[in-house]
Structure 1
Amino acid sequence: MRKPLMDFCWKCPIPFLLFTKLIPMQKTILYLIFTLFLSNLALAQEEYYFPGEKFDPNIPSPSQFLGYPIGDWHTRYDLIVKYFEKLDQISETAQLQTIGYTHEHRPKVILTIASAKNMGNLEQIRQKQLQLADPSQSKPDVSTMPSIVHLGYGVHGNEPSSAEAAILTAYWIMASQSDLAKNLRENMVVHIDPTLNPDGRDRHSLWANSNKGFPPVADPLDREHNEAWPGGRTNHYWFDLNRDWLPLAHPESRVKVEWYHQWYPNVTTDFHEMGTNSTYFFEPTKPFGSENPVVPRKNYDDINPRFAKYFAKYMDEIGSLYWTKEVFDNSYPGYGSTYPDIHGGLGLVFETASSRGHLQASQRGDISFAFTIRNHVVNSLATMEAALDNRVYLHDYLREFFESAAAEGGKDAAKSYVFGDEFDDGRNRLFVRFLLDHKIKVYENSADLTVDGQAFKKGKSWVVPTNQPQYRMVRTMFEYVKEFADSVFYDASAWTMAAAYGMPFAAAATAKSGTEITTVATPEFTFPEGKAYAYLIDWSDYYAPKILFELQKTGIHVEAIHGAFSSQTQDGKVEFAAGTMMIPMGFQKLKAEEVSSKLKELAAKNGQKVYAVQTGLNLSGIDLGSNKVSAIQQPKVLMVVGTGINSYEAGEIWNLMDQQLGMPFTKINTEQFGRVNLHDYTTLIMPSGNYNTLSEGSVNHLKDWVNRGGTIIAMKNASLWLNQKGITKEAAVELADAPKDPEVLPFDTRNDFEGAKEVGGSIYLAELDLTHPIAYGYHRNNLPVYRNTDIFIAPSADKYLTPVKYTANPHLGGYISKTNLEKLKLSAGVVISSSGQGRVVHFFDSPNFRGTWFGTNKLFLNAIFHGDNMD
């Protein structure tokens, strides 16, 4: 083991090279002075966070290891990991595990802490916990089972106090000599995730440390407290990972949920920060209005109040103010504090007033970083004490939860849900894998079925029975909810994941199923032999745009067939829809064998069926040389990002282009827009945002580019700006008999009354014009769409250019006010505006929402690849 000095001398202000040149006596004196300095520093720190406690001197405190008191700096994530590695090295009561990596390849770690005895039996403890959560197995003796607590911190990167609290909490559990700490070590297994969002944390830590003043500046206007766009809240792709426990769009969440299902913790924490002028929030959340409909009342009415008493006691002891019950949402299943509630555990959200830096002025005086950290430390300790005191109770509840879930599922009128898209194998595989990731049992459909007028073919559809332990997650995936106890939502009010994947599905009164699916198999692949006049690839599969881009990148010429037809192929007569790709062998720069070889490779990689035809004369419909067949221009795409732009929406687009399409594109900040030659690009994406900073010259250049044939893809209020600048001329929906607000209302109702007018996130049924290029690849004219805006635009004055509009009864799930619903019925989902030789494709829904609306991604990708044919 290294000497303590060598652990931190490289972080010391004295250069290491100077230290090595000192004579032995000087080294000894310096060593003693420096060790004494850090010992005093550690004692002072421990007294602030843990007054009156004694600690094991063999375990280095965070301040000893890092060389500064916790709260003086924002600790980089790699140093947090190194401290945890040190704890793992020096003690048999700690074990560090890397469960995965972020987009930026930072390790996702879990530090497990327990007594030496329990660490030696860790796998047996885990297996017993899994047995407890499985009602098909006998219930183990819970009286001897340790409590399983998962302390999760820092899902928002610029809410940094929680990760610092994680370091201190880990140290306290391992080193404290208090009776409570000893009891916890003997009767609990604690898993600490110090930072759920390492990429965002380091982005914010760099900002806060780089802009720190000496002394710190408390003025909220100081640069330190106002991050540059997009800020550190989100991950690499600017996603809010606190919403990703359900969608699993990112590796951080996928590995975390995979780990969660290996343990089923009794308690899971989720530590956050809020406005500087706030105090501290802990659960319970807002009764009924913020609660998830599938979670048993016992969670909200009994367990939460039990724990709240501990939080109040600990906060009272340090004199910190706090509040409960008023707001904060526990309804959306994708939160780190809600997902555990749907799995037999207790999820807990905590929010502390934020210093958003090292020191910031508030209405109660200056808030220090150390103060915010201490609030989270004491509630970490309170959580563990509450879990310890209620150990047997929580184990019994875990068992009861899954037993009652299976029992409720057995009584459900819907004995199963049947789903599947016979035209899109790629999206089917994505959804089946998604269900399996959430430990939902899925079976092959053993026979052709017709349910509620929908046909589900054997081999192209699957069955999810309701009588299973994950019944409540099954409801989450397939149920639409329209009735709510409240009309104000902190987040999305709808989350039906089958709709997000665009899956045809139906509830069946009888459960018939074949073999259980445990993995998603790679589809069998065959390639037509011999020469071909042309190759055809159906555009229906989710990954068809990906193979198109890859074919174009290799120099293969691809055309689109803008009409339905049937051809004689190696499989006989095959019907093809508009949008089908054609690779004509007589118009290739590459040699025929090169084209065939590359096509075979890319088709196998992307799971695409390739058809060969020997003639351009089709069996029916248009022929392959028709004027309705045109070359697909290889897109060169530019997207506006930066100050004023909605980073979430921009990140969703970036994630789609990178992770699903694999296509590089250019992102340019708003302040650089004036230096761009738009004529170097085919397509401009404008996410929602404020574009008023663009100069008059930039606007004129944009108008000229569009008029000369460019395609703009405009999202929501970007469309309003284009209208304002005269580039488009679309009209807002006006209700002739719209109800008026009361002239006078009580002041304290303002938040509820105004909040009820918002469309926070809900699901609607849209009607597609299947002949329009925006709908290429779709085979049903009805499609669930996600909307989180109250912008309502009327259908185009051109009767051909509203390819996506809402049905007469569009509301599928989530909250919407009556007035907004009436506006929605009269509005459009997608409108095309002609502008000279170019066009604007307006999206008023969210086709790429949270990286999981696979059912509507194709609309957006069609605008990229087929935009020049849309008007």
Structure 2
Amino acid sequence: MATLSALNKAVVAACLTAVTMGVSLDTHAENTTSSTHITGKFEYWPGTQYSQQIPTTEAVLGYQIGERISRHSDMVKYFEALAKAAPDRIKLFNYAETWEGRTLIYAVIGSKENIANLDSFAEKMQKLTSPDSISKNEAKSLISSLPSSVWLEHGVHGNEISSTDAAMQTAYHLLAAPQDPVNKTILENTLVFIDPLQNPDGRARFVSRYYSTVGLSPSDDRLSAEHNEPWPRGRSNHYLFDMNRDWLAITQPETAGRVKVINHYKPTVVIDLHEMGGDDSYFFVPAAQPINPHMQPDQLANNVLIGKNNAKHFDDFGFSYFTREVYDGFYPGYGDSWPTFYGASAATYEVASTRGEIFKTRTGEIRHYRDTVQRHFVAAISTAEATAVNREKILNDFYDYQVDAVEAGKKDKKERTFILPNTRDVAGTHRLATLMAQHGVKVQQATEAFKACGERYQAGAYIIDTAQPRGRFVKTTFTQQVDMPKAFIDEQERRRARKLRDEIYDVTGWSLPLMFNIDTARCGRSVEVESRIVSADDKLTQPFTNPDAKVAYLVPWGDMAAGRFLTAALQAGISLKSADEAFSMGDKHYPAGTLVIERHANESTLPGLMQTLAEQTGARIEGVDTSWVTKGPSFGSDKTIQMTAPKIAMAWDEPTSSLSAGNTRFVIEQQFNYPVTAIRADRLRWADLSQYQVLILPSGNYSRDLGKAGADNIGSWVSRGGVLITLSNATQWAASESAGLLDAKREYAYSEEKSKSAKDGSLVEGTHIESKDGLIDAIENDKDMPDSVAGVLANVDVDQEHWLTAGVNPRVVGMVYGNDIYAPVKLESGKNVAWFASKDNVLASGYLWEENKPQLAYKPFLIHQPHGRGMVISFTQEPTSRAYLDGLNVMFLNTIFRGAAHANPVR
């Protein structure tokens, strides 16, 4: 609008004064009302009569829902007001705290009777998910009396803003109009769980930046600053994780809290509310292909029932929508797919985003923030209604899912039981076992040796029988390969042949044992052995032998417990070494990388400190009373290097990929427990890096931001003894001619046909095109990149005679994403330390284009190139992706800490 209200004029004047005085405007801006485009009372559900006993947002916060973008604190304040006004019909709970200290809450709304029996409801749902513990008649009785339940997830992406305000409207509507016919049906038959904001840190980032850019009035122009977020945007959380991909590895506290609560109540319908491009309409179920084959027909049929009810209400409101075209159900690590594997019917909803208070579409339509809020609100009420109307069917299907999952496991004669031997990577195996327990899977640990399917296993092995209610989740996460439907694959190959973009939405391989690089055996029957039930909270403990050793303590290298010990010891000021090669002391053998902590080089308090670190890290420690080595390098050899506590810098901000930067920083800080200094990338053009020993460049396009000055500055630092580590696309920059830091080159797509070259740039040779296939051949580029890969797991072979791979297994699994394939670096320049396996073995899991297999085979995954007194270490792919490639952590640790120890910096 052209004019401002008196209030907004005062706000602008105050802001101008604050700017003049140098005052931060973030908090002030979020507490003011810049909106002037809403006039009068907007009806979200026209004709509804609301009780005055339930407070509106206007009464609590000073604005109508949809008038402005609510802050996290305002949302919490409003839900607290609702809980105070109607304590017998709404319960409010805290379930987690973000990295930045913000509280995550969920609300439960229902009839007085259902809310009073909330604890009983949870207990009875647990019984329904344990079919072996109740009879079918008991289950039938429970189903006849239990309410159904719908869990509404809002705002997992912090800049997808409308769902949180819609959550507030949903709660108000249900509480303030309990006699509305639709509401009455819902409240009598259903418990409505509302998680109003899954990502408070990301939303706070968005809201602060949005209101700091709004001018005299909100702009509808997509080019305006308020519609273009600065790096890293509000989508991700504090560590810049896309938390909608975190349900598999559960690395973030927000996800961990949510998983625990959902596992407690086991809601029968779960809806994840998102936003999409502003020019779209609204998406709801059914989902697109491919669908994970372990999802069941009844679950998908219930989604169709819900979708049809949504369609009815959207038609009544005159809202456009679409279904089935995008947003598939294949990857099991989304907020809308993970719940299906305990038996829920789950789905994603997407609304066209205004990414602010007002937005003009490409067709000229003006959309207001309240419009997106209303669509999510209507969809939520419609979903709750469908869940209520189909209460008995949904509960029956939920119970049948549990029964069928157990029976399906019993019938599997190939992979009924998964066994984790727990003899190689004890820390990684423990992490995987406890992670599965965190998911709600029953995991057992043998307390005695046993035999299964002809193989013998030691006590301590973990056992997961798929004949359990969460058996299908085990199958989809432990099976090496989950295939997409053939019809879908055929269509993608047809599209590629037509030079059209494929429709694969996300990664196609996610086998947890592969990503964790954990040995896993399979047995086609149940395993009977004395065992204990594994808890998600189980603490890793390994032996500490001879704590009073006279000479030294040894920590065998090769797992994350040893890695955590290393970082803790370095920060505690302990002097320690690491062997470049394996060695033996009599009949005891130690892998390359083994840490050597000599008593004479440390304080007298060392034994007590070692005990403390053993308890904190779970590392295996062996005390020795001699330094006599019978094979391999001795403690005093130059092949047993002194470890140092390096200062680590990491490029941050543009042009890094925020996901790569955040995931990598998280792995180092929260999994390795070691500090990182984030430096804005443009500072690297001139910054004095002499105080740092390691610089990490996450994936990103650095050519423009660093330029020649950045390349020269970083190159000079490396030549003086720095260790530069590049990840994925950052390796492109290091290998570019302008940077000249890495003698590796990306490859074009391989073709047996030689391209024709014209003698005159304005002329080409004459040709005959005799078919449509000939037309497609004629339009091929002479120098195309390989076709991009959505994300597969690939086998990587590892050089066992290089210090950089000490303690790393001969074969590991990495993620391949995109189309970067590098030619091997020449020996005169450096070493290809790890490379992709042969064309017949390169694919570990997922779907990889056939022509990519031979071109990827034997191409480098990890490159080491000396550079003066320092070195460049380059990953051609991302080793920290989503922080769920645990099997690469030791390799990544080596690049940082062994790299720094092997550099020869100028003193």
Q: TM-score, with normalisation over the residues of structure 1?
A: 0.90
TM alignment of 1:354-503, pairs within 5 A: 354-364=353-363, 365-413=365-413, 414-445=415-446, 457-481=457-481, 483-485=483-485, 486=488, 487=492, 488-503=503-518
| Residue in structure 1 matched with residue 534 of structure 2 by the alignment | 518
Instruction: Give yes or no for the alignment of 1:553 onto 2:571.
Output: yes
SS in 1 for 2:560: coil
Q: What does the per-residue CA deviation read over 1:358-417, in whole Å, with 9 as the maximum and x for residues that have no partner?
A: 112112312211111111011011101111111111001001111111111111122311
CA contact (8 A) 1:147 1:189 kept: yes
| Residue in structure 2 matched with residue 36 of structure 1 by the alignment | none
Which runs of 5 or more structure 2 residues have no equivalent in the other structure?
1-6, 12-36, 493-502, 756-771
| Residue in structure 1 matched with residue 22 of structure 2 by the alignment | none
Q: Would the alpha carbon gap of residues 298 and 701 (structure 1) be closer, same or farther in structure 2, given more than 3 Å must change?
A: same
SS in 2 for 1:621: coil
Of residues 787, 811, 831 in structure 2, which corresponds to 1:801?
831
TM alignment of 1:685-724, pairs within 5 A: 685-691=696-702, 692-724=704-736
CA contact (8 A) 2:555 2:620 kept: yes
| Residue in structure 1 matched with residue 868 of structure 2 by the alignment | 836
Instruction: Give yes or no for the alignment of 1:731 onto 2:745.
Output: yes
Give the whole-Å Cα distance in 2 for the aligned partners of 1:632 and 1:98: 44
Aligned residues: 819
CA contact (8 A) 1:728 1:835 kept: no
Q: Would the alpha carbon gap of residues 530 and 105 (structure 1) be closer, same or farther in structure 2, given more than 3 Å must change?
A: same
Letter in 2 for 1:610: I
| Residue in structure 2 matched with residue 530 of structure 1 by the alignment | 548
Bigger mean CA deviation after superposition, 812-821 or 594-603: 594-603
Bigger mean CA deviation after superposition, 392-401 or 316-325: 316-325
SS in 2 for 1:855: helix
Instruction: Give yes or no for the alignment of 1:762 onto 2:763.
Output: no
Bigger mean CA deviation after superposition, 371-380 or 726-735: 726-735
CA contact (8 A) 2:282 2:350 kept: yes
TM alignment of 1:81-160, pairs within 5 A: 81-91=76-86, 92-136=88-132, 137-138=134-135, 139-141=139-141, 142-160=143-161
Letter in 2 for 1:430: R
SS in 2 for 1:230: coil
Give the whole-Å Cα distance in 1 for the aligned partners of 2:9 and 2:118: 38
Bigger mean CA deviation after superposition, 180-189 or 374-383: 180-189
Instruction: Give yes or no for the alignment of 1:655 onto 2:655.
Output: no
Q: TM-score, with normalisation over the residues of structure 2?
A: 0.86
CA contact (8 A) 1:74 1:208 kept: no
Of residues 876, 882, 886 in structure 2, which corresponds to 1:850?
882
CA contact (8 A) 2:38 2:67 kept: no
Letter in 1 for 2:175: M
| Residue in structure 2 matched with residue 508 of structure 1 by the alignment | 523
Q: What does the per-residue CA deviation read over 1:741-770, in whole Å, with 9 as the maximum and x for residues that have no partner?
A: 956469xxx9xxx99932111111111122
Give the whole-Å Cα distance in 2 for the aligned partners of 1:770 and 1:422: 20
| Residue in structure 2 matched with residue 189 of structure 1 by the alignment | 191
SS in 2 for 1:667: strand
Give the whole-Å Cα distance in 1 for the aligned partners of 2:566 and 2:182: 62
Bigger mean CA deviation after superposition, 255-264 or 456-465: 456-465
Letter in 2 for 1:842: S
Of residues 54, 57, 65 in structure 1, which corresponds to 2:60?
65
Q: What does the per-residue CA deviation read over 1:603-648, in whole Å, with 9 as the maximum and x for residues that have no partner?
A: 2211122222233221333221122112112211111111121111
Letter in 2 for 1:458: Q
Q: Would the alpha carbon gap of residues 544 and 78 (structure 1) be closer, same or farther in structure 2, given more than 3 Å must change?
A: same
Give the whole-Å Cα distance in 1 for the aligned partners of 2:436 and 2:580: 35
Letter in 2 for 1:583: I
| Residue in structure 1 matched with residue 31 of structure 2 by the alignment | none
Give the whole-Å Cα distance in 2 for the aligned partners of 1:355 and 1:264: 33
Q: What does the per-residue CA deviation read over 1:714-755, in whole Å, with 9 as the maximum and x for residues that have no partner?
A: 111211111112111113346654589956469xxx9xxx99
Cα offset for 1:209? 2.1
CA contact (8 A) 1:734 1:823 kept: no
CA contact (8 A) 2:685 2:710 kept: yes
Letter in 2 for 1:677: D
Bigger mean CA deviation after superposition, 512-521 or 303-312: 512-521
Letter in 2 for 1:723: A
Letter in 2 for 1:505: T
| Residue in structure 2 matched with residue 543 of structure 1 by the alignment | 561
| Residue in structure 1 matched with residue 15 of structure 2 by the alignment | none
Letter in 1 for 2:248: L
Letter in 1 for 2:619: Q
Letter in 2 for 1:218: D
Of residues 593, 600, 624 in structure 2, which corresponds to 1:579?
593
Give the whole-Å Cα distance in 2 for the aligned partners of 1:360 and 1:771: 59
Cα offset for 1:448? 5.5
| Residue in structure 2 matched with residue 53 of structure 1 by the alignment | 48
CA contact (8 A) 2:422 2:461 kept: yes
| Residue in structure 1 matched with residue 263 of structure 2 by the alignment | 261
Instruction: Give yes or no for the alignment of 1:666 onto 2:677.
Output: yes
| Residue in structure 1 matched with residue 292 of structure 2 by the alignment | 292
Cα offset for 1:331? 0.8
Letter in 2 for 1:315: F
Q: Would the alpha carbon gap of residues 672 and 755 (structure 1) be closer, same or farther in structure 2, given more than 3 Å must change?
A: closer
Q: Would the alpha carbon gap of residues 462 and 252 (structure 1) be closer, same or farther in structure 2, given more than 3 Å must change?
A: same
Cα offset for 1:850? 1.1
Give the whole-Å Cα distance in 1 for the aligned partners of 2:542 and 2:563: 20
Q: What does the per-residue CA deviation read over 1:802-850, in whole Å, with 9 as the maximum and x for residues that have no partner?
A: 2211222121211111111222114121111222232211112332221
Cα offset for 1:482? 5.7
Of residues 195, 201, 204 in structure 1, which corresponds to 2:203?
201
Give the root-mean-square deviation of aligned CA atoms: 2.7
SS in 2 for 1:680: coil
Letter in 1 for 2:361: S
Give the whole-Å Cα distance in 2 for the aligned partners of 1:265 and 1:559: 52
Cα offset for 1:858? 1.2
Q: What does the per-residue CA deviation read over 1:206-246, in whole Å, with 9 as the maximum and x for residues that have no partner?
A: 11222223321111111111111001000110001111122
| Percent sequence identity over aligned pairs | 29
Give the whole-Å Cα distance in 2 for the aligned partners of 1:293 and 1:624: 54
Letter in 2 for 1:230: P
Q: Would the alpha carbon gap of residues 159 and 735 (structure 1) be closer, same or farther in structure 2, given more than 3 Å must change?
A: closer
Give the whole-Å Cα distance in 1 for the aligned partners of 2:857 and 2:701: 27
Letter in 1 for 2:376: H
Instruction: Give yes or no for the alignment of 1:815 onto 2:847.
Output: yes
Q: What does the per-residue CA deviation read over 1:242-265, in whole Å, with 9 as the maximum and x for residues that have no partner?
A: 111221111111111111111111
Bigger mean CA deviation after superposition, 353-362 or 207-216: 207-216
